[in-house]
Structure 1
Amino acid sequence: MPVLDHILIVDERRLVREALAKIIHACGVSKASIACVENEDDAIEYAQFSPVSLLICADNINNDNVEGFHASLCQYTASKQLATMVLVTDQAADSFRQPNSSNKAWLTLSRPYKKQQIIRALFSLTQNPIFDFDTQAIEKSASNNLVAQHEEETLTSSEKATVLVVDDETSNIDVAAGNLRHIYRVMAAKSGEDALRIVASNKHNITLILLDIMMPAMDGYQVCAALKAKQASADIPVIFLSAKAQIDDIKHGFDLGAVDYITKPLNGDLLRARVATHIRLQQQKQALSAQITTLKENAKLREDIEKITQHDLKAPLNNILFETYRLADKRAANAINRAVNNVVNMVNNSLNLYKIEQGIYTFIPQATNINTLITDAINAVSSITSDKNINIALQGFDVEHTILAEPLLCLSIFNNLIKNAVEASPINKTITLQLSHQSGTICFQLTNDGVIPPEIRSGLFEKYTSSNHQTGVGLGTYSAKLMTQVQHGDINFEIINNQQTRFTVNLPAA
């Protein structure tokens, strides 16, 4: 009983080929195992790469010499007893001479070719139960086939990738389509002009194009160039199919934008593998493009929300600023005024942080007094330091230090570091802040009791890393790092004697 891996149908009549293929597939044979070609040359090319296990051919192959055609084909098969069913095209079946009557692997079939007659003939020839009407095996196979066919049909054309095969030879289209039809939606065009019209119509959502090179009027190279010249079709992957295997020909195809090159005669396994690979890559590319579009839309939405939030917060804060001028205690009024301005600036900085993340922030440095910024940051946490009885010790603040930076970004850095240090410090302890000038940079150091947990040290400056999961969201040190780096500075920390933590920020001196 021959294994039905590769059934080859050879007949110049397209309708006959298609009808036979449908009958065989309906019996339970996979579409991938059925190939249809229209002449002897195409059949020999197919057999070189896909050893034929069953041959169905017309009696007018090779100038009516079926036996000669069979002998040529058997050179590429494992067995010289290739099961062969010959379709007698003449009305008089007796006019056909049965080649080698002792050969039991031969069978002739004359017109009219009826479905039941064909199936019984295939069973007689192959003894394969898949073609046996009289056993339960055929019922089971047919049932399984119907289930598989139903599952295939439930997958709508819009869900299947669409492959366009472009070739002026019908037999080449049949071979390619026969190998792909059970997996993809296959369309065909017999000229470059037809292919361009199909793609330009934008009705079929072409996923990939298999393109022959040697075609009359408009060759494959010209078709590929025309596809790549239009925005609507430029991203459709093109695989060239051609017997031309010279390096220059292949290179020219890639230069025009093709993604692959398959030489003829086509090998079904290779064709399916390469088509699957490039369709998968195309689908991944499209998915990535959709994700990028979504990210851009989300980024725009985030920026819009940030702007709305800033606008909504500024109104009540401006009212506070206006009312501070009514206070009799001018010292308190100035402190409130400065604090509210800092809040407004911090709101503005949320958008700045986003721009820094995206690499679109424009850094405009200016000479800035760092002493004043640190003093403002200390005042912002005065209530917490008072509650915990924490002392802030200043070193080097007797000298005014000027940095070349942006005040708002620096204020955010110092606010984050000092606030984190106060929250992490045990009660009744001292936090030391030190300023010094070192080789063109101003160095700020903050030392506090308490150490950063070992499990988060390596990722401390990464997003959403926090040692305080009750009050922190893990953006403080992350934003401090980004804002320091965008100002051409650096930030780091060290653990001292496993008892204290020291943060160091270096910024360019003015």
Structure 2
Amino acid sequence: MKHDLRSRILIVDDTRANLKILGACLRDRYAVSVATSGRAALEVARSRTNPPDLILLDIVMPDMDGYEVCRLLKADPQTARIPVVFVSALSETGDEARGLGLGAVDYITKPFSASIVRARVKNHLELKHAREELERQNEILREYNRMREDMERISRHDMRTPLNAIINLPQLILEEEERDIDEDLHDCLTTVMRAGYRLLDMINLSLDLVKMEQGTYALKPESVDIAATLRKVATDLETLSRGMDVGVDIDVTYGERPVLVLAEELLCYSMMANLIKNAIEASPAGETVRVQVQAGPLTKVVVHNRGAVPEAARANFFEKYNTVGKEGGTGLGTYSARLIAETLGGGVAFETSEAEGTRVTVSLLPFAAS
């Protein structure tokens, strides 16, 4: 027989014979204390040193009945989580329903069986301990997440220092009018500076993604030329696409005219950069990733490559950490794209097959000038 002398049971009854019988059922298994009135029960329950883990509560008592005691226990945050089991001679269905409605976890009618009392007390204590353990684990997870976010903030802060040099040094060189800089060096310095700014934006965006997950991101929508953003992404991914022998074709049927959506430029850039980069990496060599902008009630951007998504990755394509067969992949690209699209009031979907390859379609709200 397993004893749990660490668990404390409070028995509340104004009849000493009942206290004696219930105490005899439980004292060999638990630490038992008694109270002969409702007010005394409340004092014991509110003890900050040894509060009970469970209360067996009679209903019919002078001065304050069990219903009122239960109501006061559940109204007090300090005692609200203590399980209350009514033990009463009142056996009508309405009596039981009233007790459970006040927050009691169980109702035992007198005369009772000692084995039934022991079994129900054991079950409710196990449920209470399991709930407390779950809450403890959740608090550990919350603390872990707080620590992770703190470390991420520290990392972002530390990364900004060397980035300042990467951004500022090329800018200083370019601004020295007396220095004769040839065109190739000028282009290289401009590329370094632009990459530095983009990396700085990505560092800032990582904190924004955490806020999006938590639903606390404050969106500041503005007019964004999605066509220009796509061209910028294609330019920045040119080295990757050339190295993988994959072309990138931006098809905007509007020619050079802007295609305005209601969004944030950095979010649009990050979302499309992730999706186009994924498409380049998934595309067979020698093929072309085609990006098409379509007008309609929603502005749609379709990213198409000739590679098919692996079967194992399809069901959770937009879920966090979903990556299959991609060495060094984090599984965050499509997840962050979905998160950003939904934050912008749009959405993202995909279709894939061995014959047609993969199409990822982003839907965005068009910008309507007032």
TM-score scaled by length of structure 2? 0.88
Q: Distance in 1 between matches of 2:93 and 2:363?
A: 58
Instruction: For 1:394-473, list aligned pairs within 5 A.
Output: 394-396=250-252, 398=255, 399-439=257-297, 441-473=298-330
1:244 Cα offset (Å)? 1.8
Q: Distance in 2 between matches of 1:492 and 1:229?
A: 48
Residue aligning to 1:259: 105
Residue aligning to 1:339: 195
Indicate if the aligned counterparts of 1:213 and 1:219 stay in contact, CA closer than 8 A.
yes
Q: Distance in 1 between matches of 2:252 and 2:322?
A: 31
**What is the identity, as a one-letter code, of the residue corresponding to 2:281?**
E
Aligned counterpart in structure 2 of residue 281 of structure 1, from 127, 136, 139: 127
Aligned pair count reads 355
1:330 Cα offset (Å)? 4.5
**What is the identity, as a one-letter code, of the residue corresponding to 1:402?**
L
Q: Distance in 1 between matches of 2:203 and 2:105?
A: 49
1:307 Cα offset (Å)? 1.7
**Percent identical:** 37
Indicate if the aligned counterparts of 2:58 and 2:87 stay in contact, CA closer than 8 A.
yes
Q: How has the CA–CA distance of structure 1 residues 494 and 249 changed in structure 2, closer, same or farther, with 3 Å as cutoff?
A: closer
Residue aligning to 1:475: 332
Q: Distance in 2 between matches of 1:206 and 1:415?
A: 58
Residue aligning to 2:137: 291
**What is the identity, as a one-letter code, of the residue corresponding to 1:502?**
R
Q: How has the CA–CA distance of structure 1 residues 269 and 481 changed in structure 2, closer, same or farther, with 3 Å as cutoff?
A: same
Tell me the alpha carbon deviations over residues 176-231 of structure 1, each in whole angstroms, 9 at most, x when there is no partner. Answer: 22322343332222222332232233332411100112223333233223323432
Instruction: For 1:82-161, list aligned pairs within 5 A.
Output: 152=3, 157-158=5-6, 161=7
Residue aligning to 1:245: 91
Indicate if the aligned counterparts of 2:308 and 2:358 stay in contact, CA closer than 8 A.
yes
Aligned counterpart in structure 1 of residue 216 of structure 2, from 351, 360, 368: 360
Tell me the alpha carbon deviations over residues 94-140 of structure 1, each in whole angstroms, 9 at most, x when there is no partner. Answer: xxxxxxxxxxxxxxxxxxxxxxxxxxxxxxxxxxxxxxxxxxxxxxx
Residue aligning to 1:39: none
Indicate if the aligned counterparts of 1:496 and 1:502 stay in contact, CA closer than 8 A.
no
Q: How has the CA–CA distance of structure 1 residues 264 and 445 changed in structure 2, closer, same or farther, with 3 Å as cutoff?
A: same
Indicate if the aligned counterparts of 2:307 and 2:354 stay in contact, CA closer than 8 A.
no
Q: Distance in 1 between matches of 2:8 and 2:186?
A: 76
1:393 Cα offset (Å)? 1.7
Higher mean C-alpha deviation, range 249-258 or range 429-438: 249-258
1:317 Cα offset (Å)? 1.0
Aligned counterpart in structure 2 of residue 350 of structure 1, from 188, 206, 214: 206
Residue aligning to 2:178: none
1:247 Cα offset (Å)? 4.2
Q: How has the CA–CA distance of structure 1 residues 392 and 229 changed in structure 2, closer, same or farther, with 3 Å as cutoff?
A: closer
Aligned counterpart in structure 1 of residue 61 of structure 2, from 202, 215, 235: 215
- With a CA cutoff of 8 Å and minimum separation of 6, indicate the structure with the bigger relative contact order: 2
1:164 Cα offset (Å)? 0.8
Residue aligning to 1:380: 236
Q: Distance in 2 between matches of 1:392 and 1:218?
A: 79
Give 1 or 2 for the bigger CA radius of gyration: 1
Query: Which structure 2 segments of 5+ residues have no match?
Result: 175-180
Indicate if the aligned counterparts of 1:165 and 1:209 stay in contact, CA closer than 8 A.
yes
Tell me the alpha carbon deviations over residues 44-94 of structure 1, each in whole angstroms, 9 at most, x when there is no partner. Answer: xxxxxxxxxxxxxxxxxxxxxxxxxxxxxxxxxxxxxxxxxxxxxxxxxxx
Aligned counterpart in structure 1 of residue 73 of structure 2, from 212, 227, 232: 227
Q: Distance in 1 between matches of 2:227 and 2:149?
A: 32
Tell me the alpha carbon deviations over residues 245-294 of structure 1, each in whole angstroms, 9 at most, x when there is no partner. Answer: 33443344334332222211112233233323322222232223223322
Q: Distance in 2 between matches of 1:260 and 1:391?
A: 69
Q: Does 1:391 align with 2:237?
A: no
Q: How has the CA–CA distance of structure 1 residues 252 and 374 changed in structure 2, closer, same or farther, with 3 Å as cutoff?
A: same
SS in 2 for 1:505: strand
Q: How has the CA–CA distance of structure 1 residues 263 and 475 changed in structure 2, closer, same or farther, with 3 Å as cutoff?
A: same
Higher mean C-alpha deviation, range 175-184 or range 446-455: 175-184
Q: Distance in 1 between matches of 2:132 and 2:99?
A: 23
SS in 1 for 2:295: strand
Q: Distance in 2 between matches of 1:251 and 1:198?
A: 26
Query: Which structure 1 segments of 5+ residues have no match?
Result: 1-147
Aligned counterpart in structure 1 of residue 345 of structure 2, from 478, 481, 488: 488
Q: How has the CA–CA distance of structure 1 residues 205 and 218 changed in structure 2, closer, same or farther, with 3 Å as cutoff?
A: same
Residue aligning to 1:3: none
Q: Distance in 2 between matches of 1:212 and 1:467?
A: 60
Q: Distance in 1 between matches of 2:131 and 2:65?
A: 28
Q: How has the CA–CA distance of structure 1 residues 469 and 392 changed in structure 2, closer, same or farther, with 3 Å as cutoff?
A: closer
**What is the identity, as a one-letter code, of the residue corresponding to 1:235?**
R
Residue aligning to 2:227: 371
State the Cα RMSD in Å. 2.2
Q: Distance in 2 between matches of 1:428 and 1:469?
A: 19
**What is the identity, as a one-letter code, of the residue corresponding to 2:315?**
S
